[in-house]
Chains A and B, each alone.
Chain A
């Protein structure tokens, strides 16, 4: 069981928007702005999509945005495209034992 909770799956049609949630606690997601999101296509390495809750690394599409409210972070993908179909993982720093936590991952299906 992962320390950060994500829905196992979400789906959407091309052009639509979807949101993936990532629920933690006040010791991690809620206590620090150190949340990141990774995209992973099957058989590939993860790709950093968001860091510091809302920032996109250079080269990441602005269709990807993120936010945080309380102990829950969210990733929103707008204008869904077939290439967005992948697994998405949230991650957060945790003050408990100064560790890095990952969520269990969310499989995004583009219908």
Chain B
């Protein structure tokens, strides 16, 4: 059974850097074709895809946020970390990490198992 859990600060100040950790189980990011992604959702608004990292350390970023995002993995800890630089109040929302559906070829980004999300507020 695949599970994912997001963790990180609930409140951050503008201009600071946000570090979010996704701790997962039920699969390994050393296995071919596996991937973990991040998606966020501002309050009352739509989903927004942020980034994904593959088992081979290939990384994909949202073009509009690429300069501010960094995604990394620690396979020994079964964790994926997303950092977002230079935070703004518009970055407020719920951040989800999710497992990429196996058996589908890139450039597909279907997320079949999601964490419960972690809520982040950017405010001074």
Query: Could you list which residues of chain A lie within 8 angstroms of chain B, going by C-beta atoms?
Result: 2, 34, 36, 38, 40, 45-48, 51-52, 57, 89, 91, 93, 97-105
Inter-chain contact A52/B104, CB cutoff 8 Å? yes
Query: Could you list which residues of chain B lie within 8 angstroms of chain A, going by C-beta atoms?
Result: 39, 46-49, 60, 62-64, 96, 98, 101, 104, 107-112, 114-117
Q: 15 A-B Cβ contacts within 8 A? A: A34-B107, A45-B96, A46-B47, A48-B110, A48-B111, A48-B112, A52-B104, A52-B108, A98-B63, A99-B62, A100-B49, A101-B49, A102-B46, A102-B47, A102-B48
Q: Is the interface of A mostly helix, strand, loop or mixed?
A: strand
Give the number of residue pairs across the A-B interface with Cβ within 8 Å.
59
Could you tell me the distance between the alpha carbons of A96 and B115 in the complex, rounded to whole angstroms?
28
Could you tell me the distance between the alpha carbons of A46 and B84 in the complex, rounded to whole angstroms?
22
Could you tell me the distance between the alpha carbons of A47 and B47 in the complex, rounded to whole angstroms?
12
Residues of A within 8 A of B98 (CB): 45
Additional 10 contacts, C-beta under 8 A, given A51-B101, A52-B110: A36-B110, A45-B114, A45-B117, A46-B39, A46-B96, A47-B114, A93-B108, A98-B63, A100-B62, A101-B49
In the complex, which residue of chain B has the Cβ closest to the Cβ of A59? B112
- The minimal Cβ–Cβ distance linking A80 to chain B, given in whole angstroms, is 23
Contact of A98 among B48, B60, B115, B116 (CB under 8 A): B60
Contact of A34 among B62, B108, B111 (CB under 8 A): B108
Residues of B within 8 A of A91 (CB): 47, 49, 109
In the complex, which residue of chain A has the Cβ closest to the Cβ of B66? A97
